[in-house]
């Protein structure tokens, strides 16, 4: 059974992994805000426990066991976020810190019951996929709003950033998952996009915001 610190490392490694499943030690240290000696020490522990492959001066790679166990921590986190929003009435901007604590509970039946009570959701409140009980993730290829063209109608499906600041920004503009947006125009100078939705006939969103909004095109 992994400790809370080990679970945090596994989760960070999973989220940082590139297409080759590799993570640089320096990236991991920056992500977790700890020193390089601390990371190096923990990486050796994770390797000893069979969670990753580590060679000195090279990027680390999660083993299949490491990927599965990391995904199961993420599953608990995302299920908790969904439960807090759907069953307890929390705002999507309020749930991350609570889920960070709940994800370390080692009680499978607790999360199975939570999953059942919600009807087995496949995404969390921010549109991220919830891994299944085997740690498998059903990835969906969405389009970034920044890549959309004038005249397209899309549905907001997920976010690449779920910080409370960004979520509060979206709340202030009545933007949430499932909302249909029409791209009115795209500014050539700064790539900002004007969209219409609900009772917002013309809302200008910066390129920085649009890059964080994942959408699916309405056929």
Task: Specify the DSSP element, H or E, that contains 7.
Answer: helix 4-16
Q: What is the pLDDT of residue 185?
A: 96
Rounded Cα gap, residues 213 and 190, in angstroms = 17
Q: Which CATH class is domain 4-62?
A: mainly alpha
Q: What is the pLDDT of residue 180?
A: 97
* 3-state DSSP assignment of residue 208: helix
> Helix axis angle, 4-16 relative to 64-86, nearest 10°?
100
Assigned CATH for 143-217: 2.30.30.90
Residue 195: closest CA among 141, 136, 155, 139: 155
Where are the chain's structural domains?
A: 4-62, 143-217
The DSSP string of 142-181 is PEEGGG--TT-EEEEEEES---HHHHHHHHHTT--TT-EE
Confidence (pTM): 0.91
Per-residue pLDDT in tens (0 to 9) along the chain, 219 residues? 889 999 999 999 999 987 678 899 999 999 999 999 999 999 999 999 999 999 888 999 999 999 999 999 999 999 999 999 999 999 999 999 999 999 999 999 999 999 999 999 999 999 999 999 999 998 888 999 999 999 999 999 999 999 999 999 999 999 999 999 999 999 999 999 999 999 999 999 999 999 999 999 987
Q: What is the pLDDT of residue 20?
A: 72
């Amino acid at each position: 059974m992994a400790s809370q610190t080990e679970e945090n490392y596994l989760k960070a490694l999973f989220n940082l992994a590139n297409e080759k499943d590799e993570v640089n030690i320096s990236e991991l240290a920056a992500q977790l805000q700890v020193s390089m000696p601390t990371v190096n020490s923990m990486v050796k522990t994770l390797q000893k426990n069979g969670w990753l492959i580590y060679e000195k001066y090279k990027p680390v790679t999660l083993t299949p066991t490491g990927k599965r166990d990391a995904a199961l921590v993420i599953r608990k986190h995302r299920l908790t976020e969904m439960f807090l929003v759907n069953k307890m009435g929390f705002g999507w901007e309020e749930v991350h810190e609570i889920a960070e604590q709940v994800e370390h509970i080692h009680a499978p039946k607790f999360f199975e019951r939570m999953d059942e009570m919600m009807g087995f959701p496949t995404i969390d409140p921010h549109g991220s996929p919830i891994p299944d009980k085997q740690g498998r993730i059903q990835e969906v290829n969405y389009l970034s709003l920044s890549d959309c063209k004038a005249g397209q109608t899309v549905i907001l499906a997920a976010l690449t950033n779920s910080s409370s600041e960004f979520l509060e920004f979206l709340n202030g503009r009545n933007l949430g998952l499932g909302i249909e947006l029409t791209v009115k125009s795209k500014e050539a100078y700064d790539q900002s996009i004007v969209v219409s939705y609900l009772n917002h006939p013309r809302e200008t969103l910066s390129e920085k915001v649009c890059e964080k909004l994942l959408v699916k095109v309405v056929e």
